Amino acid sequence: MPLRVSRTPTIRHYVMTAPTFFSVEYAINPWMDPTTPVDTHRALDQWDALRRTYKELGHTVELVEPVAGLPDMVYAANGGVLVNGKAVVARFAHPQRAAESDAYAEWMSRHGYPPVRTEHVNEGQGDFLAAGRILLGGHGFRTDIRAHREIARAVGMPVVSLRLVDPRFYHLDTALTVLDDSTVAYYPPAFDAPSCHRLREVFPDALEVADADAHVLGLNAVSDGYHVVLPAAATGFAAQLRAAGFRPVGVDLSELLKGGGSVKCCTLEVHS
Ligand code: ARG
């Protein structure tokens, strides 16, 4: 396929939380099995390789202090939404993760982003992804659709609501990734028919990924507009990205996949 456009990276600002206390102690998504052993040291090494990848690409990475007893805190994307100079902190669907909100709210306050709280469940950038001047909002498993309006109002951006229908793709960022302001990649079977229709309308150049790539959480990726950091196992998606002029950068986060997350889940982006 010929390159239709040239892709340009921009410097990004990410927030991450080390998996110091990572484990799979409960099951709140179909990827989690508390009987599977987790190697926390290996998780830390894999997470650190992701952090170093971002640094090598020239991005800023800030760290949130992990809290003992919050094993899912490594999935920093869920901490909230930081966009348009505004911050909204998460309200988690499950009690096991509820206390993470205070840790992320505290980080936001200390860094000059006084956080708004929502009345309804919102799981941060797990379900809200910025694409240019709009937010894509997932619902169906975690985030309550009523939070879409609350967040649209809080950050001053329209939210395009998308309904997730497959429990393995329980957060929007497991089924869709934003590659640049006007380009996304997604897995159509994870969405209901009206949402697929809407996606085709809004993103005529979208990449649609195959089952095999979606099922290794290949879409749980982070793009700077050119480099796309993604799970290394998603080789078909990597080839699609290359053909579309992007540069895939594969990383192995196999330990963190045991909690149902990968690259994007570990990365909260501060969109200015
Ligand atoms: N175990 C976590 C949960 O189920 C994984 C969160 C993954 N994060 C994400 N942004 N998709 O809540």
pLDDT digits (tens, 9 = 90+) for 13-52: 999 999 999 999 999 999 999 999 999 999 999 999 999 9
What is the percentage of the chain residues whose pLDDT exceeds 90? 97
Going from the C-alpha of 252 to that of each of 4, 32, 82, 173, 196, the distances in angstroms are 30, 18, 26, 17, 29
Cα–Cα distance measured from residue 245 to residue 229, given in angstroms and rounded to the nearest whole number:
14
Cα–Cα distance measured from residue 123 to residue 147, given in angstroms and rounded to the nearest whole number:
10
Q: Span 200-222, mean pLDDT?
A: 98
1 has a pLDDT exceeding 80: no
Cα–Cα distance measured from residue 102 to residue 69, given in angstroms and rounded to the nearest whole number:
14
Q: Closest residue (by CA) to atom 8 of ligand 1?
A: 265
Q: Span 143-164, mean pLDDT?
A: 98
Residue-level pLDDT at 5? 74
Q: Which residues have C-beta atoms less than 6 Å from ligand 1?
A: 28-29, 32, 72, 75, 77-78, 97, 126, 171, 173-174, 259-261, 265
Closest C-alpha to 111, from 152, 82, 70: 82
Tell me the residue length of the chain: 272
Cα–Cα distance measured from residue 59 to residue 124, given in angstroms and rounded to the nearest whole number:
21
Name the pLDDT band for 240 (thresholds 50, 70, 90). Answer: very high
Catalytic: which of 171, 196, 227, 266? 171
pLDDT digits (tens, 9 = 90+) for 89-146: 999 999 999 999 999 999 999 999 999 999 999 999 999 999 999 999 999 999 999 9
- Name beta bridge partners: 62: 15
Residue-level pLDDT at 272? 83
Q: Which atom of ligand 1 is nearest to 78's Cα?
A: 10
Q: Span 203-217, mean pLDDT?
A: 98
Say how many Å lie between the CA of residue 150 and the centre of ligand 1. Answer: 22
Burial of 231 (0-12, 13-18, 19+ CB in 10 A): buried
Residue-level pLDDT at 3? 54
Structure tokens at 253: 């986060």
Please, how many CA atoms are within 13 Å of residue 191, restricted to the half-sphere of its CB? Answer: 26
Report the CATH fold assignment for 13-269: L-arginine/glycine Amidinotransferase; Chain A (3.75.10)
Cα–Cα distance measured from residue 77 to residue 148, given in angstroms and rounded to the nearest whole number:
17
CB 176 within 8 A of CB 154: no
Q: Quick one: DSSP state of residue 164?
A: B
Name the pLDDT band for 259 (thresholds 50, 70, 90). Answer: very high
Q: Which atom of ligand 1 is nearest to 170's Cα?
A: 11
Name the pLDDT band for 4 (thresholds 50, 70, 90). Answer: low
Mutate to test the pocket of ligand 1, among 24, 36, 72, 176 (most ligand atoms within 8 A of CB): 72
Mutate to test the pocket of ligand 1, among 29, 168, 170 (most ligand atoms within 8 A of CB): 29
What is the percentage of the chain residues whose pLDDT exceeds 70? 99
Q: What mean pLDDT, rounded, does the chain reach?
A: 97
Residue-level pLDDT at 2? 52
Q: What is the 3-state secondary structure (H, E, C) of 107-119?
A: HHHHCCCCEECCC
Q: State how beta strands 183-186 and 159-163 pair.
A: unpaired
Cβ neighbours of residue 92 closer than 8 Å, sequence gap 6 or more: 78, 98, 100, 101, 121, 123
Q: Span 186-197, mean pLDDT?
A: 98
